[in-house]
């Protein structure tokens, strides 16, 4: 069941919201009446979505957003306001909020916003770039990796639109940054816009800007992404998620090289190279009427496919070692290495779900799963290990230590699943002192709640 936390210092309002959301949306709801209480609840037992009041004494909504971002919770947050102050809502969105609503909105709209925020969070996980691993799409000496590097070098110098296509997690933003670095204006700005992460009512403002007074709460002029990227590169990630109305305006901007801010009348010249990316089949979307045919042909001047990891398996050892080095340095642990069976398991696995990003996450889990310097097959996540005959376990999993670790994983995962991944309840069922004890065991075993 979807769990929603309502955070408001006015208890009666928070309780009413919780009741209405549970009744109309079927959500499991919780209430916090301060920023501190909200952060404590999220730390102990994470929820799926937060509805957050910005104006609270002590730790206000902005500080809650900053703390959640700093601690990497990744939970979508919808801010709600009774003041109609649009600028403060926009500021909250830039701090990571998924959207905003007015406290007077009908509850059906609130339920819709929660469901939309959760879907966008899922998409954001699929399309977010490999932060901290800026060269991973280009690591490797396989034929597909070399072909990609050569294709980038050919296209980079041509200042026309590029469409990057590839599965989630292949590193499309990495490719876009390399095109910018090798392009005609590497000294210019590189502005990235994740179309899938923007609420529909903010897309136009974020792309084209708005004038002061354009709508209620627009208290100052805002320069959009096209203006900020002028003289450099604008990267439109997941362009297939743009609403139809914005697609039409985007086409006009690409053809005329000028924008008009929301609420404005004056045309403003822009000179940004546009690089778009998508994991969708845009041609199928065109045929289905979900994407404009003329816009598709306008952005598809140069098509640059990024190969999936399954097509460049010989690069996996180099990529895995890269992630091992980075993860051990980040966790401040001694350097580890993969034994032969663990590496063979990684090379045999089908990485189509999240590609290089999934490999990176698997390496992080393995580093946490082992205390020694050697990562064995038993340390490889169970969903990645090849199936084996229980009566004849592989040689890497026959030691008492390996069997003990696997038994611990099964016990802990079983308790978490029985408690619907409520860490506090699972800790009590296991007879542990508190939720922190269970979280420590989960980190040691590399167990994370499935999204």
Q: 251-304, pLDDT tens digit by residue? A: 999 999 999 999 998 999 999 999 999 999 999 999 999 999 999 999 999 999
Stronger pLDDT, 136 or 255, i.e. the higher one: 255
pLDDT digits (tens, 9 = 90+) for 142-176: 889 889 999 999 999 888 899 999 998 898 999 99
Instruction: In whole angstroms, give the CA distance from residue 405 to residue 219.
Output: 58
From the list 450, 448, 451, 411, the residue with the least C-alpha distance to 432 is 411
Residue 399 has pLDDT above 60, yes or no: no
Per the listing, tokens 């990057």 go with 164
Instruction: In whole angstroms, give the CA distance from residue 198 to residue 31.
Output: 26
- Could you give the count of Cα atoms lying within 13 Å of 305 in the half-sphere of its Cβ? 8
Residue 341 has pLDDT above 70, yes or no: yes
Confidence of residue 411 (pLDDT cuts 50, 70, 90): confident
Instruction: In whole angstroms, give the CA distance from residue 282 to residue 290.
Output: 9
Stronger pLDDT, 4 or 123, i.e. the higher one: 4
Q: In the chain, what are the domain boundaries?
A: 3-127, 136-307, 311-445
**Which is the CATH superfamily of the domain at 3-127?**
Response regulator (3.40.50.2300)
- Concatenate the DSSP letters of all residues of 267-305 into one string: -EE---EEEEEESS-HHHHHHTTSS-HHHHHHHTTEEEE
pLDDT digits (tens, 9 = 90+) for 182-218: 998 888 899 999 988 888 778 998 899 988 888 776 7
Instruction: In whole angstroms, give the CA distance from residue 129 to residue 168.
Output: 9
Distances (CA, A) of 127 to 1, 70, 122, 203: 25, 20, 9, 17
Residues with Cβ within 8 Å of 330's Cβ and at least 6 positions away in sequence, in order, are 132
- Concatenate the DSSP letters of all residues of 432-450 into one string: -S-HHHHHHHHHHHT----
For residue 110, give the H/E element and its range: helix 107-127
Residues with Cβ within 8 Å of 450's Cβ and at least 6 positions away in sequence, in order, are 421
pLDDT digits (tens, 9 = 90+) for 7-47: 999 999 999 999 999 998 889 999 999 999 998 888 777 78
Do 3-127 and 136-307 fold alike per CATH?
A: yes
Residue 64 has pLDDT above 50, yes or no: yes
pLDDT digits (tens, 9 = 90+) for 94-128: 788 888 888 888 898 899 889 888 877 766 554 44
Instruction: In whole angstroms, give the CA distance from residue 250 to residue 128.
Output: 22
Range 311-445 has CATH code 1.10.8.60: yes
Lowest mean pLDDT among 66-75, 222-231, 233-242, 360-369: 66-75
From the list 287, 273, 86, the residue with the least C-alpha distance to 190 is 273
Residue 396 has pLDDT above 50, yes or no: no
Instruction: In whole angstroms, give the CA distance from residue 211 to residue 344.
Output: 57
Look at the domain 136-307 and name its fold. Rossmann fold (3.40.50)
Instruction: In whole angstroms, give the CA distance from residue 176 to residue 171.
Output: 9
């Amino acid at each position: 069941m979807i769990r929603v936390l309502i955070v408001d210092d006015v208890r009666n309002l928070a309780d009413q919201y919780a009741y209405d959301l549970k009744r109309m949306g079927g959500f499991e709801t919780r209430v916090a009446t301060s920023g501190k209480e909200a952060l404590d609840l999220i730390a102990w037992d994470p929820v799926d979505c937060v509805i957050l009041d910005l104006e609270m004494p002590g730790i206000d909504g902005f500080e809650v957003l900053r703390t959640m971002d700093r601690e990497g919770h990744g939970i979508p947050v919808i801010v709600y306001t009774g003041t109609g102050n649009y600028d403060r809502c926009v500021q909250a969105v830039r701090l990571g909020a998924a959207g905003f609503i007015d406290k007077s909105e009908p509850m059906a709209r609130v339920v819709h916003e929660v469901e939309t925020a959760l879907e966008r969070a899922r998409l954001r996980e699929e399309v977010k770039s490999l932060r901290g691993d800026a060269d991973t799409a280009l690591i490797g000496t396989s034929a597909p990796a070399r072909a990609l590097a050569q294709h980038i070098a050919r296209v980079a110098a041509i200042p026309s639109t590029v469409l990057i296509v590839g599965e989630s997690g292949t590193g499309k933003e990495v490719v876009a940054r390399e095109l910018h670095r090798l392009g005609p204006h590497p000294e210019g700005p590189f502005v990235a816009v994740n179309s899938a992460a923007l609420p529909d009512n903010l897309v136009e403002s974020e792309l084209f800007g708005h004038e002061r007074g354009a709508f209620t709460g627009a208290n100052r002029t805002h320069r959009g992404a096209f203006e900020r990227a002028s003289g450099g590169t604008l990267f439109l990630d997941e362009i297939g998620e743009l609403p139809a109305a914005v697609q039409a305006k985007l086409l006009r901007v690409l053809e005329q090289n000028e924008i008009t801010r929301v609420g404005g009348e004056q045309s403003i010249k822009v000179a940004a190279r546009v690089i778009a990316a998508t994991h969708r089949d845009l041609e199928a979307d065109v045929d289905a009427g979900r994407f404009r045919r003329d816009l598709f042909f306008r952005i598809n001047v140069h098509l640059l496919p990024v190969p999936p990891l399954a097509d460049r398996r010989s690069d996996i050892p180099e990529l895995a070692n890269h992630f091992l080095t980075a993860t051990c340095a980040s966790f401040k642990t001694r350097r580890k290495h993969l034994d032969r069976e663990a590496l063979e398991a990684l090379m045999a696995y089908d990485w189509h779900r999240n590609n290089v990003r999934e490999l990176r996450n698997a390496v992080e889990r393995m580093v946490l799963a082992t205390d020694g310097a050697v990562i064995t097959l038993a340390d490889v996540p169970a969903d990645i290990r090849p199936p084996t005959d229980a009566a004849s376990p592989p040689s890497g999993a026959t030691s008492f230590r390996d069997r003990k670790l696997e038994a611990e994983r099964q016990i802990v995962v079983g308790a978490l699943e029985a408690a619907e991944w409520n860490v506090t309840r699972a800790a009590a069922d296991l007879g542990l002192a508190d939720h922190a004890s269970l979280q420590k065991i989960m980190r040691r075993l590399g167990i994370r709640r499935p999204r």
